[in-house]
Amino acid sequence: MKKKLTVIPGDGIGPEVINAAVKVLDVIGDKYNHEFTYHYAKLGGIAIDEEGTPLPQETIDLCKASDGVLLGAVGGPKWDKLPGHMRPEKGLLGIRKALELYANLRPVTAQRSLLDASTLKREVIEGVDLMIVRELTGGLYFGQPQERRQGPDGEVVVDTLYYKKSEIERIIIKAFELARIRNKRVTSVDKANVLESSRLWREVAEEVAKEYPDVQLEHMLVDNAAMQLIRNPKQFDVIVTENMFGDILSDEASMLTGSLGMLPSASIGSDGPGLFEPIHGSAPDIAGKGIANPLATILSVAMMLRYSFFLSEEADAIETAVSNVLEAGYRTGDIAEKGEQILNTEKMTDKVIENIECKIKN
Ligand SMILES: NC(=O)C1=CN([C@@H]2O[C@H](COP(=O)(O)OP(=O)(O)OC[C@H]3O[C@@H](n4cnc5c(N)ncnc54)[C@H](O)[C@@H]3O)[C@@H](O)[C@H]2O)C=CC1
Ligand SMILES: CC(C)CC(=O)C(=O)O
Ligand SMILES: [Mg+2]
């Protein structure tokens, strides 16, 4: 198979984890006879510095012309004082919108060998396997264009939460479709006791549910959901929710796996290339030290192979290698317990690669 990929390293630890992911993908290409070609593109802080905009048109064009996009992370303190429309994060939101990537899938799977890396009790997280389906191109992060700072001194601020029924419908359908091939339960998370957008969300969820009589639907208010994720995460199969709630709940859920550095994601639309990225940010506190956990990004490559290219054997090879490496006791700093030997980003990546190669040889 031949695939053209756009690679967007971004800022902070972005380039470090992307290097790791591309190395793993190269090995998969060699071993399974696929040709992956890479076009590197700029987004976020580095694009502001070098091109004067967080989202250069060239990046959009490259992404649109490719079969898939791999992204590290954007942002950092260097750009924090810029006005909202010029910040690195605007580039990320912009590329999601430009590619119409309305569904962000964030699988949360507790690795057996990391049960003690979490601060939560072993019996609470053992066997956790849930999928957060986050709406990605609407809601508060994409408020209607208007002056967001108002009044003579900008003392009045406005962020608007805007959803069309069709935008809600397509993400809820995505959640039901996924539940159908998983454990047939959808939890729709909203704040319907307060927000009109959530009341429409609930109505749409009820309507869509009628088409899926084999899937059970429940509604949960987001504040309760945040608590239930820690109290009893195994009650969840598919969680579907709007953009900001999904953003926050998935960072929270990452702690069920031991670290933010463990959670991959796939952002997909109706057609066109998908975008695959770890859920974490640019981690300025550890950037440049070569110690970031690359596994979330490596697992995002597996999601790309599985969801976009239907290469399930190759995706399995990566996921099994990651599990084996963890099982063998290799750790980056974020998932290490006291006394465990810590590997840097490069060494951890090499362990995953060694494992893929050895599995294939056998
Ligand atoms: N998708 C993206 O590009 C995202 C970008 N951001 C941006 O990233 C910047 C930093 O944001 P923060 O709030 O600090 O969130 P963050 O996700 O970058 O980091 C939060 C904490 O998790 C740790 N961490 C994150 N990824 C890790 C990894 N792979 N290995 C080990 N530790 C890891 C960091 O060291 C930090 O202590 C901000 O500019 C923010 O806007 C934040 C979230 C997502
Ligand atoms: C720009 C932000 C919405 C990025 C983020 O936190 C995320 O997508 O998880
Ligand atoms: Mg986030």
Mean pLDDT of 89-95: 97
Check which CATH number belongs to the domain holding 332 and give it. 3.40.718.10
Is 141 a residue of the active site? yes
Which listed residue (67, 190, 237, 247) is catalytic? Answer: 247
- Domain assignment present for residue 123? The answer is no
- Number of domains, the chain: 2
Q: Each residue of 166-218: pLDDT tens digit?
A: 999 999 999 999 999 999 999 999 999 999 999 999 999 999 999 999 999 99
Distance from residue 207's CA to the centre of ligand 1 (Å): 37
The one-letter code for the residue type at 208 is V
Is 223 a residue of the active site? yes
First and final C-alpha spacing in the chain:
23
Asked if 201 and 135 touch (Cβ cutoff 8 Å), the reply is no
Say whether both 230 and 274 belong to one domain.
Answer: no
Q: Among residues 229, 255, 281, which one ends one of the domains?
A: 255
Asked if 28 and 357 touch (Cβ cutoff 8 Å), the reply is no
Q: Each residue of 94-138: pLDDT tens digit?
A: 999 999 999 999 999 999 899 988 889 999 999 999 999 999 999
Look at residue 257 and tell me whether its pLDDT is greater than 50.
Answer: yes
Q: Each residue of 10-66: pLDDT tens digit?
A: 999 999 999 999 999 999 999 999 999 999 999 999 999 999 999 999 999 999 999
- Domain assignment present for residue 111? The answer is no
3-state secondary structure of 6: strand
Query: For position 145, what pLDDT does the model report?
Result: 65
325 closest CA partner among 290, 297, 361, 356? 356
Can you tell me the ipTM of this complex? Answer: 0.99
Say whether both 277 and 300 belong to one domain.
Answer: yes
Beta-carbon contacts of 94 under 8 Å, excluding residues fewer than 6 positions away, are 54, 55, 60
Query: For position 360, what pLDDT does the model report?
Result: 47
- Domain assignment present for residue 16? The answer is yes
Mean pLDDT of 240-253: 98
Distance from residue 356's CA to the centre of ligand 1 (Å): 28
The one-letter code for the residue type at 322 is V
Q: Each residue of 137-151: pLDDT tens digit?
A: 999 999 876 667 788
More confident residue, 344 or 338: 344
Query: For position 155, what pLDDT does the model report?
Result: 85
Is 26 a residue of the active site? no
| For the CA of 263, the nearest ligand | 1
Nearest CA to ligand 1 atom 24: 283
Asked if 243 and 70 touch (Cβ cutoff 8 Å), the reply is no
Mean pLDDT of 70-97: 95
Q: Each residue of 278-317: pLDDT tens digit?
A: 999 999 999 999 999 999 999 999 999 999 999 999 999 9
Expressed as residue numbers, the domain containing 194 is 129-255
Strand ranges of the sheet holding 129-135, from the earlier edge strand across to the other edge: 35-40, 2-10, 68-73, 274-276, 266-268, 103-109, 129-135, 238-241, 185-190, 216-221
Distance CA 111, CA 105 (A): 18
| Predicted TM-score (pTM) of this structure | 0.97
Look at residue 359 and tell me whether its pLDDT is greater than 80.
Answer: no
Q: Among residues 200, 224, 255, which one ends one of the domains?
A: 255
Say whether both 67 and 173 belong to one domain.
Answer: no
Mean pLDDT of 316-341: 94
Q: Each residue of 260-283: pLDDT tens digit?
A: 999 999 999 999 999 999 999 999
- Domain assignment present for residue 70? The answer is yes
